[in-house]
């Protein structure tokens, strides 16, 4: 059914990162429930890594797709909240805000740093940690007074510990080492060869280095490694080492933020962070000896939906 001026107000939530952009258009029903009208997807929208022009185009494309899906004809969304990676600096955030407002995507567009929706559900007077692990990885820590600290997020050449890329890379390394030493491929090796379409381990190097986006290609292996984890020692070791390494990344952020004995709320988001409870516990367990990890960690499955709630609450 087409949206017109007689319909309930529309709101827009957009999550834009270094890999993709996701936009949701919705109305708000009774008891604050979202009634999703349209969804759109686009390419990378990080203005730092992609450039301001490409980021604007990706965000606009995903938003227009969501509006088309909702069959918006005359009435634009009342407000849109755009959580954008690489928009932590006020100057770049303002430039992107001005560009999006000039495109007429909503009556009012607000660009916020990508960590903003991650803390939207946490109690404002408690310190909180938002752990983001997908194709890449980063952790944000908010202290009790609202200051934000970060650790990681350096990209795959310099960091991205425990990310989908890092897990996929480790799986390929396990496969190549087994091949070098004449050992059986094992389940991890068979997964790597099958998923990457390589008949032999010798074909891996050409396939990976010739790929248009080798980072995303390697990250695509992570889902299969998590599926093997419960019953395969090599997969379990990859996941365990990744979790323990990222625990150190979180620890550095907590130390920098000066988080003391106060209860700490933890939230996870990103495809890798959400893939396995045992993986999340590998990250949290070492931290519990020094910090008061509070209630069961929150799992944020769709930051764009969190942006929608923010847009509706502000309006």
pLDDT tens, position by position, 201-226: 999 999 999 999 898 899 999 999 99
What are the backbone angles phi and psi of residue 199, rounded to the nearest 5°? Answer: -65, -35
Q: Is pLDDT at 2 greater than 70 in this prediction?
A: no
What are the backbone angles phi and psi of residue 285, rounded to the nearest 5°? Answer: -55, -45
Query: What does the pLDDT average to over 249-257?
Result: 94
- Confirm if 251 and 233 have CB atoms less than 8 A apart: no
Q: Is pLDDT at 296 greater than 90 in this prediction?
A: no
| pLDDT for the residue numbered 74 | 63
Decide which of 263 and 295 is more confident.
263
| pLDDT for the residue numbered 181 | 94
Question: Which of 105, 101, 98, 100 is CA-nearest to residue 64?
Answer: 105
The b-or-e profile of 193-228 (16+ CB within 10 A means b, else e) is: beebebeebeebeeebeeeeebbbbbbbbbbbbbeb
Q: If DSSP codes are grouped into helix, strand and coil, which group holds residue 206?
A: helix
Max mean pLDDT range (44-48, 159-163, 195-199, 298-302): 195-199
Q: Cα 284 to chain center, whole Å? A: 19
Give me the chain's average pLDDT, please. 89
Q: Is pLDDT at 315 greater than 90 in this prediction?
A: no
What pLDDT, in 10s, does the model give residues 66-111?
Answer: 999 988 766 789 999 999 988 878 888 899 999 999 999 999 999 9
**18 vs 54: CA distance, rounded Å:** 11
What pLDDT, in 10s, does the model give residues 129-183?
Answer: 999 998 888 999 999 888 999 999 888 888 889 999 999 999 999 999 999 999 9
Confidence of residue 3 (pLDDT cuts 50, 70, 90): very low
- Confirm if 238 and 188 have CB atoms less than 8 A apart: yes
| pLDDT for the residue numbered 92 | 85
Lowest mean pLDDT among 62-66, 122-126, 181-185, 309-313: 122-126
Q: If DSSP codes are grouped into helix, strand and coil, which group holds residue 269?
A: strand
Q: Is pLDDT at 184 greater than 60 in this prediction?
A: yes
- Confirm if 312 and 11 have CB atoms less than 8 A apart: yes
Decide which of 291 and 48 is more confident.
291
What are the backbone angles phi and psi of residue 249, rounded to the nearest 5°? Answer: -65, -45
The Cα-based distances of 9 to 28, 309, 315 in angstroms read 8, 13, 10
């Amino acid at each position: 059914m087409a949206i017109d001026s007689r319909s309930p107000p529309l709101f827009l939530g957009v999550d834009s990162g270094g890999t993709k952009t996701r936009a949701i258009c919705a109305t708000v029903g009774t008891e604050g429930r979202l009634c999703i009208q349209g969804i759109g997807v686009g390419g990378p929208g990080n203005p730092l890594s992609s450039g301001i022009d490409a980021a604007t185009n990706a965000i606009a494309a995903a938003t227009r797709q969501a509006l088309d899906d909702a069959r918006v004809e005359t009435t634009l969304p009342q407000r849109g909240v755009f959580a954008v990676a690489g928009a932590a600096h006020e100057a770049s955030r303002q430039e992107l805000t001005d560009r999006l407002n000039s495109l007429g995507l909503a009556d009012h567009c607000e660009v916020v740093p990508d960590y903003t929706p991650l803390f939207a559900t946490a109690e404002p007077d408690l310190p909180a940690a938002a752990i983001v692990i997908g194709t890449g990885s980063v952790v944000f820590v908010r202290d009790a007074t609202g200051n934000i600290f970060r650790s990681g997020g350096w990209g795959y050449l310099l960091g991205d510990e425990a990310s989908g890329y890092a897990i996929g890379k480790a799986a390929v390394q396990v496969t190549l080492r087994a091949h070098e030493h004449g050992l059986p491929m094992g389940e991890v090796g068979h997964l790597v060869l099958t998923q990457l379409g390589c008949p032999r381990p010798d074909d891996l190097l050409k396939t990976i280095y010739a790929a248009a986006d080798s980072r995303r290609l390697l990250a695509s292996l992570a889902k299969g490694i998590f599926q093997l984890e419960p019953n395969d020692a090599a997969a379990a070791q990859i996941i365990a080492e990744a979790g323990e390494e990222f625990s150190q990344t979180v620890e550095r952020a907590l130390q920098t933020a000066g988080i003391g004995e106060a209860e700490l709320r933890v939230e996870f988001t990103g495809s890798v962070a959400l893939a396995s409870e045992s993986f999340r516990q590998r990250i949290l367990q070492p931290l519990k000896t020094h910090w008061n990890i509070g209630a069961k960690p929150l799992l944020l499955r769709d930051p764009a939906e969190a942006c929608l709630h923010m847009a509706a609450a502000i309006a």
